[in-house]
Structure 1
Amino acid sequence: MENIEGSTGEKNIVNISEMKAEKEIKKQDKNVNFDFFQVWKISDSNTEIFDLDDWAQRLPSVLDKRNIRYSGDTIRCDSYGVHSPEKNPLSILHFARLRDHNVPAVATLNTPELSDVKLEANEYIAEDVSALFDSTNGVLMLQKNIFSLSVYSLVTYVNYFWNLNKDEKDMEQIEIRPILRKDAFKLGLNAKKINKLKVKTGNIVRGTNINNKFESGLGKVFDVLTKYNGVSIEVTISTTRSKDSVLDKEAVHDSLKEIQAAQGDFKKATIVSGDTGVSVPIELIKSRITTSKIFSIPVKAFLNPDKVQEYMLQEYSPSYKNFKKQVESNLEKIPK
């Protein structure tokens, strides 16, 4: 222990060993992605934006009543709340997937043996995701975690509780649709330092002569490869690992313009841009609105959902960075 005099003259007791231990905590950076969706309700007579707040407020108040089984695991909505209800209200939901099978083992660095994770009868391996919902436009911002709830499992969960105890004739289908970029090709055509071009065609119907639609280099590639009578063609054109090695910008842009005019013939088209000094992939076909954040997490600790939710609010809310503006510019029109 050591006494340190503060600016006001009083003595502050400081535990030097605790300060040293805190500095020595090892942390690992983790990149977390967030996808954006719009939530819709489909009935026999109507298609409209769905209010997920209405759904959340109807959930059972007892937590274990919210549990349902899905693909052998238990999934549930743990919590729901509204942030800043007076101005720019946004809802935060937290979901978890509880596993009691396919559980990882415990090992040490100096022995070959594995041991079971010690879990009590009512304990599970939990994988979680956080979600932000904006009731003004039906937008859902969803943390991506491949070990937790997928979009499909979330849709299943929402539909289960929305239609619970309803007659079949009164049931409604809830859909969570990805929000796609409207300016994806504009981003691609503005790229100057391009390190890679990758395209994959849709199923090729013999006699459609896909190669005839292209005057750029891709046309010659397709002309050669269609002779194999394959179902689809996938082409990757890339440079060396050197930062100074780039593809011919004009040639790539010519191909992008042709792909844009014939999007229905392609399943995938991607370029990798090095304009910012790092390699950034730009999806051109059905490109989704996404953001990402790097979190620094103590080793052997889970990512605190409070930190995730804090980022989501600050990133999306008009009161902070206002990513909402960009999202709304890409929304499909709501049918009247």
Structure 2
Amino acid sequence: MQPDKSHISVMLDEAVAELALDPDGVYIDGTFGRGGHSGLILSKLSKNGRLVAIDRDLTAIEAAKKFADDARFSIVHSGFSELLQIAEQQQLMGKVDGILLDLGVSSPQLDQAERGFSFMNDGPLDMRMDTSKGQTAQEWLAVADVEDISWVLRTFGEEKHAWRIANAIVDAREEEPLTRTGQLAALIKKTAPQREIKKHPATRSFQAIRMYINSELEQIENALKASLSVLKPGGRLVIISFHSLEDRLVKQFMKKHSQGKQVPRGLPVSEEEINKGKKLRLEGKYKPSKYEVEANVRSRSSVMRVATRLAD
């Protein structure tokens, strides 16, 4: 079955190519979404291959039913931060040939007003990736103090006017509960200075609140750490990021684990000794083509980084 046309997987062919697929291999798609990457991976696997998908969005779990008749495929309703536990449960520790993570928010999530991810269409202030549990953005904004809101906007949105916006939110909720995305976006637009702003003034704040509500950076950190135990020697780690905070985490992790044992300069040590402790080999950093950006504007900020797991 073809992938959902409402969502265009970013760097689809490039990401799957970088997995260096073994037709008989075992792969994990940590962000199933609407199945674009998973569908292409399955098309290249033999009957002996295996693909485990993960997603915490219930609509993604529903979309995965299109692969229900494929014995090579299974999906787990969970965040990819549970990668280690999922691999343990499925007896895949150290046996996986490739892990793919396509970070960020999918087009269907952004376009569905009821999810509350975007201010482009008015909807409830939800913002949860997994609507079956956790605190909504509305619930958090109703009780968080100025310091906490400001910290979130500054840390996850790199918002220069975090303190001013946080104060405006706390003042506004005393008059009327903040329950709608349009309400919050209008408040931020009224509060944040308009000079030299190219994007909508609420863009950074919405990103920050969403990342906080979904513990997105913590999810990435947990999955990165787990990947070292889940991948087999020679296994590929392919990660697509969409903004600087995500990409910085991935870049720093891959760089750290691609470096050998750190020894004082000038000491007589063998190359074998220097290479001891290296867990990853960097394979490259990639950006979408000009053609892809023209066809799918949401791909313009994406960065794909690839590394190979080395033998211990």
Structure showing greater radius of gyration is 1
Higher percent of residues as strand: 1
Which category of TM-score, normalised to the shorter sequence, fits these structures? under 0.3
TM-score by length of 1: 0.26
Higher relative contact order at CA 8 Å, sep ≥6: structure 1 or structure 2?
A: 1
Higher percent of residues as helix: 2
